[in-house]
Amino acid sequence: MKTLQIEGWRGINHSYAIVNQWQLLELCRRPGLDLCHVDRPFFNAGWNAGANGSGFSAAQRQLIEGIRGPRPGETPDVAYRIAFPFDVSPCEAGRVFVFGTAEYQHTEGMFGSGDTARAIGDERLSIVTPSHWSKAGFVATGFDPARVHVVSHGIDPASFRPIERKARKTLRNLMRVRNDDFVLLSVGAMTENKGIDLLLTAFARLRAKHRHLKLVLKDQSNLYGLTADRILAQLAASPHGHLFTEDVVSSIVFVSHNLGIAELAALYGAADCYVSPYKAEGFNLTPLEAAACGVPIVVTRGGSTDDYFDPAIGLQVDSRRMQSGRRAWLEPDPESLFEALGQLIDGRRRFDPAAVSAAVHGRFTWSKVTAELARVLGV
């Protein structure tokens, strides 16, 4: 039996913590594995389970919190670190794996404890990252490509699946959305890399033609203090300002309060299309979760979502690769975004919810991807 020591975040809804907790739920059930967990300090000292709760059920939290800590003098076979900044300091474990994402394909300023140059040459230390786009950033840093392992993220099929028609209707009523409205949804931190400015501009243009169009934006202001209305105000003062009429603004629903996983899944299921015209992402989990709920997605072509995108689950937006110094990102084509959304809104492209969901459930469950993680870790 091998001992695996996870060093990461639990109890909050930061993406690293969410990934860690889903993986813990799978690993703690894995036969022949002795699992322990060390809680690392949060990047922001103000983050806590009260204000930034994980959203997991009470039963799931009990399992996650019940994983033991390390015993005095214990030396694990493998240490797996999933926190930020990245810790590449030496430890007594036989092997060390450090999880990280490189949204802009660079890692400058992202390493905390440890000598990065030493870590690059240390064959006992490897990197785990969730996409080939992100892997390129660690390779550019100097890590041997053979020691940078791509392990996808996944979805929980019991949580993220198509919702019943009655529940969908009820939720849309609560959102003041009519049955014949077409609802676009985007969830995440309202940061520059998410492309929310492009989404808002495309929505404003489309709303002029499609009077039944609505947009729902769920932010992560509890973690980052950023809301979508800030971006909207900037656009209103830009050359595109004339697009943002009172009618357009009143057709946008802002959601800022914390949602549990069941509530988030319901929000996905209430939408008609999930939109993510991102510029730089390490993985971009929310479109995958939305597709698992049977909702077609529109995502940028050329980035991290290429690892899981399938024509059966939606459409891609053309983009150009951009570079400035060590930073690389994508610039989605606004016209391609406008056209993709238009095809879905006017029915030129249709996707069966059951088929969309099945395409994700068949390949990207947390059970399957965590089994791959265990293989990479050698446990």
What is the rounded distance in angstroms from the CA atom of residue 138 to the CA atom of residue 101? Answer: 9
> In this structure, are 148 and 187 located in the same domain?
no
Q: Establish if 25 belongs to a structural domain.
A: yes
What is the rounded distance in angstroms from the CA atom of residue 312 to the CA atom of residue 351? Answer: 7
pLDDT by position in tens, the chain (length 379): 899 999 999 999 999 999 999 999 999 999 999 999 999 999 999 999 998 999 999 999 999 999 999 999 999 999 999 999 999 999 999 999 999 999 999 999 999 988 999 999 999 999 999 999 999 999 999 999 999 999 999 999 999 999 998 889 888 888 888 889 999 999 998 888 999 999 999 999 999 999 999 999 988 877 777 677 788 888 878 887 888 889 988 899 988 888 999 999 999 999 999 999 999 999 999 999 999 999 999 999 999 999 999 999 999 999 999 999 999 999 999 999 999 999 999 999 999 999 999 999 999 999 999 999 999 999 9
> In this structure, are 341 and 369 located in the same domain?
no
- The answer to whether residues 8 and 15 touch, using CB atoms and an 8 Å cutoff, is no
Q: What is the DSSP letter of 111?
A: B
In DSSP terms, 12 is beta-bridged to 53
> In this structure, are 176 and 244 located in the same domain?
yes
Query: Which is it for strands 273-276 and 297-300: parallel, antiparallel or unpaired?
Result: parallel
In DSSP terms, 78 is beta-bridged to 4, 95
What is the rounded distance in angstroms from the CA atom of residue 291 to the CA atom of residue 358? Answer: 9
> In this structure, are 239 and 181 located in the same domain?
yes
End-to-end CA distance of the chain: 9
Summarised one tens digit per residue, pLDDT across range 74-124 is: 999 999 999 999 999 999 999 999 999 999 999 999 999 889 999 999 999
Q: Establish if 160 belongs to a structural domain.
A: no
CA torsion sign for 223, 224, 229, 232 is negative
> In this structure, are 208 and 267 located in the same domain?
yes
Q: 3-state DSSP call for residue 265?
A: helix
Q: Establish if 106 belongs to a structural domain.
A: yes
Summarised one tens digit per residue, pLDDT across range 185-204 is: 999 988 889 999 999 999 99
> In this structure, are 285 and 211 located in the same domain?
yes
The label of the residue with tokens 């929000």 reads 267
The CA–CA distances, whole Å, from 130 to 30, 82, 150, 231, 245 equal 21, 12, 5, 28, 40
- CATH code assigned at 341: 3.40.50.2000
Is the pTM of the predicted complex or chain greater than 0.85?
yes
Q: Establish if 208 belongs to a structural domain.
A: yes
Give the chain's domain count: 2
